[in-house]
Amino acid sequence: MRGKILNILRASAPEPVSGEELASKLGVSRTAIWKNIQALKEEGYQIAALTKKGYVLENIPDKLLPVEIAQQLKTKWLGHELHYVDSTGSTNAMCKTYANEGCTDGTVCVAEEQTGGRGRLSRGWFSPAGKGLWFSVVLEPPFLPEEAPKCTLLAAVAVVKAVNSYKGVHAAIKWPNDILLDGKKLVGILTEMSAEFGHINYVVIGTGINVCVPKEMVPPELRDSAISLADKAKEPINRVELLAKVLANLEELYEIVLKQGFKPILALWRNYSTTLGKMVKVIAPDTTYVGKALDINEDGILLVQKEDGTIAEVLAGDVSIRSALGKGNKY
Ligand code: ADP
């Protein structure tokens, strides 16, 4: 109902629409219209009530409101169940709660702010209110638990395609779970899984995209290594539109995986990779070494040729990859 009211007000703005007209168009009472208008105002929509004329939509809040997302979402199923909050610990944790309660495949959780956003290895992910896209997706893939880490690669391709659709943005994927712009971290992705022997219950893919985090807001220790889309884009970025683009890409790519397996996704991933062909420093819990990132194999494992010529298979779970070039090029 609220979405329909907004559509009518949006189409008519700056001209007002009377309560009577809204009520008759939507087949409800004027009181029902009034109640819904109040609810929209509470969400942040600025709607003026002009005596004898009706309601005028004056401003739409810069928020990731479900009504706005639903307007732009072009997916068949992904994100049709969507949970939105102003603030949460982490959207991955939100998704896990909904998944454990039996939410639908493709449920999306979005927050304006995360107070305990996480990266891999329990590292934090800085997620200030209204400045990024902090969201997670629940998928219930029919493939084996061993395949789940490849969901990170899938999400990375979906996100990089979406961010690169903005003028001036040429981002690339750093294995396994980051997207870099100008060598700095723009996006972090964290995939978590609930599985039993040989069977995935669900996968949660969490994504943090810095959209317009002001430099002075970024914690000092991240200032040299983090970047926002707004720092490079030559056009304004609307967060709702960006989310809709990412979800559309994700659905399309996931459906390719369901039909054809991961092969086509790995091929796309290679095209967007900034890691392959580079000298990298692999930092594992028990060892650190330098080598050339040759390729990823069909399992998404990174193949690094060490200086002695041997080839190491690097699993995503427990390592960090840095550029081996040192100063000023952290990645
Ligand atoms: P890694 O760089 O080893 O792959 P993660 O993928 O686990 O690390 O990401 C977590 C790291 O990302 C944090 O330790 C921090 O350095 C950095 N970070 C945290 N928040 C942000 C952010 N909003 N933008 C860019 N980098 C961030």
Ordered per-residue pLDDT tens for the chain, 331 residues: 888 999 999 999 999 999 999 999 999 999 999 999 999 999 889 999 999 899 999 998 889 999 899 989 999 999 999 999 999 999 999 999 999 999 999 999 999 999 988 876 667 899 999 999 999 999 999 999 999 989 999 999 999 999 999 999 999 999 988 999 999 999 999 999 999 989 999 999 999 999 999 999 999 999 999 999 999 999 999 999 999 999 999 999 999 999 999 999 999 999 999 999 999 999 888 889 999 999 999 988 999 999 999 999 998 766 677 877 655 445 5
Q: Are residues 42 and 157 in the same domain?
A: no
Q: Residue 15's domain is classified under what CATH number?
A: 1.10.10.10
Is the distance from CB of 281 to CB of 178 less than 8 angstroms?
no
Site to probe by mutation for ligand 1, drawn from 126, 177, 302 as the one with most ligand atoms within 8 Å of Cβ, is: 126
Q: Are residues 261 and 147 in the same domain?
A: yes
Report the C-alpha gap between 147 and 309 in whole angstroms.
28
pTM over 0.85: yes
Q: Are residues 6 and 92 in the same domain?
A: no
Q: Are residues 29 and 129 in the same domain?
A: no
Whether residue 114 has its Cβ less than 6 Å from ligand 1: no
The answer to whether residue 249 sits within a structural domain is yes
Q: Are residues 97 and 145 in the same domain?
A: yes
Atom 26 of ligand 1, residue of closest alpha carbon: 226
Q: Are residues 264 and 292 in the same domain?
A: no
Q: Are residues 229 and 305 in the same domain?
A: no
Whether residue 174 has its Cβ less than 6 Å from ligand 1: no
Domain count, the chain: 3
Report the C-alpha gap between 228 and 320 in whole angstroms.
22
Q: Are residues 42 and 111 in the same domain?
A: no
Q: Which residues of 176-200 are buried (b: 16+ CB within 10 A; e: fewer)?
A: bbbbbbeebbbbbbbbbbbeeeeeb
The answer to whether residue 331 sits within a structural domain is no
Which domain does 285 fall in, by range?
279-323
Q: Residue 301's domain is classified under what CATH number?
A: 2.30.30.100
Q: Distance, CA 152 to ligand 1 centroid (Å)?
A: 15
